[in-house]
Amino acid sequence: MNRRQLLALVAAAPLALVASSCGSRTSVNTDGSTTSVPSSTEAPTTAPGITHATGGDDVVIRLTYDGGFVAPGTIFSRLPRLLVTGDGSVYFEGAQIEIYPQPLLPPILVGNISEGELQALLLSAESGGLFRTVTYGQPSTGIADAPDTILVINANGATYTHDAYALGMAGEETDEDRHHLYEYVSLLEPIANGVPNTQSFAATRFAIRATPADQVPDDGVAPSQAVWPQSSGVRLADAAECQVVDATSLGTLFNEAKQNTRFVDDGVKYVLVVRPMLPGDPGCAPR
């Protein structure tokens, strides 16, 4: 199934479900011909679907690019490229402004798809052989410092995790398993830019990592400064690896900060790396 076919399938899925729920009966005319007549007495029927959790915090599909040759802190703060939850919510990162220093928080958007559209995505994964455990080989040519493509699907009571290094970066994928994964990822990509009812997402929790400012290279741009709130319940001296803070304890602090803002806690200035936590984010546990 190519990209155009999947998008057509996603677009048509609600219509297909409606059609399957409308009964009809056949009437035989006096001349022997037949006429299909809608019936309001037949019980609606729907095709069996792929089961999945249905909550807004339940991850059904998650696509992430992890690792690679990136700046320090990038892996910690990296968000999924696409995240679809059980209620049809679709999370993705919006476009960042091209000036420095950029805002501390990345723009996160959330839209939604219907259950029929979600079923179409799961059906495509199943038909592509992704409802199984696969050990992926290396690309056909050597590529250094590339990211891993990680796809997680939770369906039919099981979790299917796919992890392939440098997927699609060496030209055409000739290995069958890598080819199927690449095809499905290529189908998911445009969904992150084309779901309806998209709006800004405000996280309720953040994972943070703090580094003393004197250990961070000076970028030549005068930083802003902010006082770290005692009400957060987290001391930045304890956040060298990771801590989780509630958004309610921070007010508008993160919304107003830049990536080079210095946060002052107990007389010490820190630079923060911040990850807004989306559904399924384990916080400080290994991701």
pLDDT of the residue at 15: 32
What CATH class does 59-193 carry? alpha beta
**Contact call for residues 191 and 117 (beta carbons, < 8 A):** no
pLDDT of the residue at 30: 37
- pLDDT class for 70, splitting at 50, 70, 90? low
pLDDT of the residue at 28: 35
Distances (CA, A) of 221 to 55, 97, 233, 258, 260: 44, 17, 30, 11, 8
- Domain positions in the chain: 59-193, 203-276
pLDDT of the residue at 29: 39
Shortest CA distance to 192 belongs to which of 62, 8, 67? 62
Percent of the chain, pLDDT > 90? 69
- In this structure, the number of other CB atoms found within 10 A of the CB of residue 126 comes to 16
- pLDDT class for 191, splitting at 50, 70, 90? very high
* pLDDT above 70: residue 102: yes
Residue 168 Rama label (left phi>0; alpha psi -120 to 50; beta): left
The pTM of the full predicted model, rounded to 2 decimals, is 0.83
- d(C-alpha 278, C-alpha 287), whole Å: 12
Distant-in-sequence, close-in-space partners of 108: CB < 8 Å, separation ≥ 6: 79, 91, 92, 93, 94, 200, 201, 203, 276, 278
